[in-house]
Chains A and B, each alone.
Chain A
Amino acid sequence: MASETPQEKRDSPAERRSSRISPSARQARDPAGDERVGPLAIEHLRKDDGRALLLYERRAPRR
Chain B
Amino acid sequence: MSEERFNELRGEQVVYAIHRQERTFLPTREHCPLCPTRAGGDATEIPREAFEIAVFENRFPAFEGPRGAAEVIVYTDEHEGSLATLPPERAEALMWVWRHRYSELGAREDVRYVMIFENRGVEVGVTLHHPHGQVYAFPFLPPVPERELQADARAGGCAVCALLAAELGDGRRVVYEDDGVVCFVPFAARWAFEVHVVVREHRASLLEFDAAELRSLAAALQALVRGYDALFARPFPYVMVVHQAPTGASGAAVGGHVHVEFYPPLRDADKLKYLAGSEQGAGTFIADTIPEESAAALREAIAHGA
Task: Contact check, A25 vs B103: say whether CB atoms are below 8 A apart.
Answer: yes
Write out the residue numbers on chain A whose beta carbons fall within 8 Å of the beta carbon of B56.
47, 51-54
Task: Contact check, A42 vs B100: say whether CB atoms are below 8 A apart.
Answer: yes
- Whether B214 is near chain A, meaning CB under 8 Å from some CB there, is yes
Task: Contact check, B65 vs A38: say whether CB atoms are below 8 A apart.
Answer: no
How far apart sit A63 and B84, CA to CA, in the bound complex (Å)?
34
* Contact digits for A28-61, partner B, Cβ 8 Å, 1 yes 0 no: 0000000001111010010101011111111000
> How would you classify the secondary structure of chain B's contact residues: helix, strand, loop or mixed?
mixed
Residue of B53, B54, B66, B96 near A38 (CB, 8 A) is B96
Whether A39 contacts B93 in the complex (CB less than 8 A), given A25-B104, A47-B56, A57-B52, comes out as yes
How far apart sit A58 and B104, CA to CA, in the bound complex (Å)?
19
- Whether B89 is near chain A, meaning CB under 8 Å from some CB there, is yes
> 6 closest pairs, A vs B, by CB?
A25-B107, A51-B57, A17-B65, A38-B96, A56-B53, A37-B100
- Whether B251 is near chain A, meaning CB under 8 Å from some CB there, is yes
Task: Contact check, A53 vs B55: say whether CB atoms are below 8 A apart.
Answer: yes
How far apart sit A40 and B59, CA to CA, in the bound complex (Å)?
25
How far apart sit A49 and B214, CA to CA, in the bound complex (Å)?
34
B219 to A: closest C-beta gap in Å: 16
- Whether A3 is near chain B, meaning CB under 8 Å from some CB there, is no
Whether A13 contacts B55 in the complex (CB less than 8 A), given A24-B251, A38-B211, comes out as no
- Whether B108 is near chain A, meaning CB under 8 Å from some CB there, is yes
